[in-house]
Amino acid sequence: MAETKNIVVAEHICKSYVGVQALDDVSITIKEGEIKCLAGENGCGKSTFVKIIAGVESCTSGTILINGKDCTKHSTKDAIDEGIQVIFQDLSLFDEMSVADNIAMNKLIKDGKPLTNKKDIQKIATDTLNLIGVDIPLDAKIQELSIANRQLIAICRALALDAKLLFMDEPTTALTKNEVDRLLDIVLSLKARNIAVVFISHKLDEVMRIADSITVIRDGHKIGDYAASEMDPHKLAYYMTGREVTYQQYERNCKENENLLEIKHLCKEGNFQNISLDVRKGDILGLTGLLGAGRTELALSLFGLNKPDSGEIYIEGKKVSITCPQDAIDHGIGLVPEERAIQGLFLSKSVNENVGAAILKRLTGFIGTINQNKSRTLAKEAIGQFRIKVYNEDTLINTLSGGNQQKALIARWAASHPKIFILDTPTVGIDIGSKSEIYEYIQSFAKQGIGVIIISDEVEEIVSNCNRVIVMFNGEIVKEYSEEEMAAPDIREQINTLVESGKKKVQEDR
Ligand SMILES: Nc1ncnc2c1ncn2[C@@H]1O[C@H](COP(=O)(O)OP(=O)(O)O)[C@@H](O)[C@H]1O
Ligand SMILES: [Mg+2]
């Protein structure tokens, strides 16, 4: 058999930004037709490496050979001419333009052809869509498509330019499970066409599913190159973090059994129906089920951002009315909202419905407190405790990655000592190392007598951290697992089976 060709040989790559050594002596070889996963925690330098190979940024030192040519000081055009394409996280598509135009435009420009020939455009678009086996209307506008489909259009655009090596920078961040499955299948089909893919991710399961080879980067250093066959998720987590990552199983050890929070028959048309539940001191109650099961809406109702139609809420035995976030805060309720909720629901609600500057300031208050001297210590502590990746405590929070913003929010609430702490999908997009730290914190809150509610789709997260679990579908509670039931050895399987059956039912109903 002929020896496999190297497409990229990058040696001793260093890259420094002001105050940050993003890459330090990193050497990576990428072979024709292989799927290489570049794995590492947030901020370790993965995107920087991609930008350097793609000619977007230049390295401080090191050498790059592409298809045997010296490309150390190359431009993006040089990289494209050598068949290198990048699917960046923002996709850089033209939202107002059609699917076909977006796919074909760069190819036509490259070939010096007019951008007006509809036949050419349609052919390029159809061919590449067929190549990856998906059917998206050619005349649809990008803005009408789901994120997942937009991503596929970006892939088609890359294929139209004869990509021989495709970099995908954390492509699954915004995808649902089914969309991830489809994308991974497409990656495998590209490999079958001898196109190399560098797949960047910090998600172990994805990496393990598709990789031929895995290169692990930690804090700008290459830890090693591994054949996927010699790797397992546990090892990979260890290489990525440099620590043993194990999750501590939570056990409630509080003697007081009165209810901190009690909800009776809470209803909100179109969101949830007849929800009754209770939380004691030291409980970590898991709310799982399906995306769109009404859990986020329930959390927002408890925080005064989604007025229920009927039902009652009691805190420490007293009936309360929570009509705005300030009421919730006054009753000792803290909420770390879903990331999408932070960006969408929260901000727009805050402005439009005037729930107010107050809460907005509180939620983003970390920015304020970070800049005040008296809170500097607190901010520094939080940054240290939660390993929030920032240059220093003056860094503005909105420049941080989603995961780091999330950690800052948790830290922010923790500092205000709520009685009841609700966390909506708190670890989505957060790397494994930080995840186990967040779990430790959540568990320590509960051990101090705080009542915690965690909303999560991740069964492992729920089972390790919760002493009681409620499963919701379509706005209703379908099952509650008591503390005793949670102790069953097959509890993971039980919950998994129930959730999967719910998914099937939802799909059938559609
Ligand atoms: N343009 C830049 N200016 C300053 N620092 C940067 C810049 N780009 C990246 N960094 C820093 O370099 C490090 C590596 O970043 P990045 O390559 O984006 O990591 P990853 O993609 O693995 O999450 C981080 O500490 C990041 O803050
Ligand atoms: Mg990145």
Annotate 189-203 with DSSP letters as a single string.
HHHHTT-EEEEEES-
> 246 or 436: whose pLDDT is higher?
436
The CATH number of residue 177's host domain is 3.40.50.300
How far, in Å, is the centroid of ligand 2 from the Cα of 88?
A: 9
- Residues 147 and 203 both lie in one domain: no
- Quick one: tokens of 278? 């209770």
Contact 213, 156 (CB under 8 A): no
Neighbours of ion ligand 2 (CB under 5 A): 47
Question: Per mean pLDDT, which range of 194-203, 261-270, 499-508 is the poorest?
Answer: 499-508
Among 215, 244, 273, the domain-final residue is 244
How far, in Å, is the centroid of ligand 2 from the Cα of 297?
A: 31
pLDDT at 83 over 50: yes
- Residues 14 and 74 both lie in one domain: yes
- Residues 169 and 70 both lie in one domain: yes
Contact 420, 332 (CB under 8 A): yes
Among 368, 395, 417, the domain-final residue is 417
Among 367, 384, 417, the domain-final residue is 417
Ligand minimally distant from the alpha carbon of residue 13: 1
- Residues 233 and 366 both lie in one domain: no
Residue 158 lies in a domain: yes
Task: Please enumerate, as own/partner, the contacts of 485-488 that have beta carbons within 8 Å and a separation of 24 or more.
Answer: none
- Residues 157 and 185 both lie in one domain: no
Q: Which atom of ligand 1 is nearest to the CA of 40?
A: 22
User: Exposure string (b/e) for 426-460, b if CB count within 10 Å is 16 or more?
Assistant: bbbbbbbbbbbbbbebbbebbeeebbbbbbbbbbe
> 233 or 355: whose pLDDT is higher?
233
- pLDDT band at residue 387, thresholds of 50, 70 and 90? low
Number of domains in the chain: 3
Alpha-carbon radius of gyration of the chain? 25
Contact 225, 213 (CB under 8 A): yes
- Residues 45 and 168 both lie in one domain: yes
Measured by CA distance, the residue closest to atom 12 of ligand 1 is 22
392 lines ligand 1 (CB under 6 A): no
- Quick one: tokens of 199? 């797949």
pLDDT at 356 over 70: no
pLDDT, tens digit, 9 for 90 and up, residues 103-123: 999 999 988 888 888 999 999
Contact 299, 455 (CB under 8 A): yes
- Residues 170 and 239 both lie in one domain: yes
Residue 314 lies in a domain: no
Residue 123 lies in a domain: yes
- Residues 172 and 230 both lie in one domain: yes
Residue with structure tokens 């052809």?
113
Residue 425 lies in a domain: no
Domain that holds residue 385: 343-417
pLDDT, tens digit, 9 for 90 and up, residues 8-49: 999 999 999 987 899 999 999 999 999 999 999 888 999 999
| pLDDT averaged over every residue in the chain | 85
CA distance 322 to 18: 47
Residue 508 lies in a domain: no
- Residues 48 and 19 both lie in one domain: yes
Residue 115 lies in a domain: yes
Query: What pLDDT does residue 390 have?
Result: 59
pTM score, two decimals? Answer: 0.64
Phi, psi of 434 (to 5 degrees): -70, -30
Q: Given ligand 1 and candidates 15, 48, 49, 200, which is best to mutate, with the most ligand atoms within 8 Å of its CB? A: 48
- Residues 5 and 78 both lie in one domain: yes
- Residues 134 and 9 both lie in one domain: no
Residue 217 lies in a domain: yes
User: Exposure string (b/e) for 355-373, b if CB count within 10 Å is 16 or more?
Assistant: beeebbebbbbbbebbeee
- Residues 195 and 235 both lie in one domain: yes
Residue 226 lies in a domain: yes
pLDDT at 64 over 80: yes
Q: Given ligand 1 and candidates 18, 24, 42, 44, which is best to mutate, with the most ligand atoms within 8 Å of its CB? A: 44
